[in-house]
Amino acid sequence: MLDKLFQLSERGTTVKTEILAGITTFITMAYILFLAPNILSLAGMDKDAVLIATALGGGLVTIAMGLFVNYPIALAPGVGLLAFYSFTVVLGMGVSWQTALGAVFISGLVFLVLTLTSIRQMIVEGIPASMKVAITVGIGLFIAIIGLKLSGLMAISISLSPNSLGQVVQTHGNLVPPASEALLTLGNLHNGETLLALFSLIFTALLMARKIQGSLLIGVVVTTIVSYATGLSTMPENFTVLAVPDFSKAAFLQLDIPGALHMGLITIIFSFTFVELFDSMGTLIGTATEAKIADPKSGKFPGLGKAMTVDAIGVSTGALLGTSTITAFVESAAGVGAGGRTGLTAVTTGVLFLICLFLAPIVSLVPNAATSPVLIIVGALMLGAIRNIDFDDWTEGFPAFLVIVLMPFTYSIANGISAGLIAYPLLKIIAGRAKEVNWIMYVLAVLVIIRYVFF
Please give the tally of structural domains in the chain: 2
- Give yes or no: residues 57 and 77 share one domain: yes
Expressed as residue numbers, the domain containing 27 is: 1-158+181-237+249-389
Q: Both 382 and 395 in a single domain? A: no
Enumerate helices (H) and strands (E) in the chain, giving the number of each. Answer: 21, 4
Determine, yes or no, domain membership for 446.
Answer: yes
Do 11 and 80 have their domain in common?
yes
> Could you tell me which residues are beta bridge partners of residue 246?
none
Same-domain pairing of 334 and 274: yes
Of the candidates 371, 388, 405, 389, the residue with the CA atom closest to the CA atom of residue 142 = 405
- Whether 244 is in a domain gets the answer no
Question: Is 397 in the same domain as 267?
Answer: no
3-state secondary structure of 329: coil
Asked if residue 426 and residue 349 are part of one domain, the reply reads no
In a domain, 168, yes or no: no
Q: What H or E segment, with its residue span, contains residue 356?
A: helix 343-363
| Same-domain check for residues 258 and 395 | no
Q: What is the pLDDT of residue 263?
A: 53
pLDDT number for residue 99? 84
Domain-terminating residue out of 389, 410, 431: 389
Angle at 145 between CA 141 and CA 149, to 5 degrees: 170
285: in domain: yes
Residues 330 and 365 in one domain: yes
Decide: helix, strand or coil at residue 76. strand
What letter would DSSP give residue 265? G
CA angle 178, 180, 183 (to 5 degrees): 100
Same domain, 228 and 335: yes
pLDDT for res 31: 73
List all residues 6 or more positions away from 370 whose beta carbon is below 8 Å from its beta carbon.
Answer: 27, 196, 200, 219, 220, 221, 223, 224, 227
Residues 221 and 93 in one domain: yes
> Which of 342, 374, 389 corresponds to the end of one domain?
389
pTM for the predicted model, two decimal places: 0.70
Domain boundary among 346, 364, 389: 389
Residues of the chain with pLDDT below 50 are none
Neighbour count for residue 335 (Cβ, 10 Å): 35
Alpha-carbon distances of 113 from 38, 106, 116, 167, 443, rounded to whole Å: 32, 11, 5, 45, 18
Q: Are residues 372 and 426 in the same domain?
A: no
Helix (H, G, I), strand (E, B) or coil at 327: strand
211: three-class secondary structure by DSSP: coil
Residue 255 is predicted with a pLDDT of 81
Cα(406)–Cα(394) distance, rounded to whole angstroms? 18
Q: Tell me the Ramachandran region of residue 130: left when phi exceeds 0, alpha when psi lies from -120 to 50, beta otherwise.
A: alpha
- Asked whether residue 28 is domain-assigned, the answer is yes
Residue 330 lies in a domain: yes
298 phi, psi to nearest 5 deg: -90, -20
271 and 354 share a domain? yes
Classify residue 243: in a domain, yes or no.
no
340 occurs within a structural domain: yes
Outline where DSSP puts E strands in 69-118: 75-77
Residue 95 C-alpha from the chain's centroid: 25
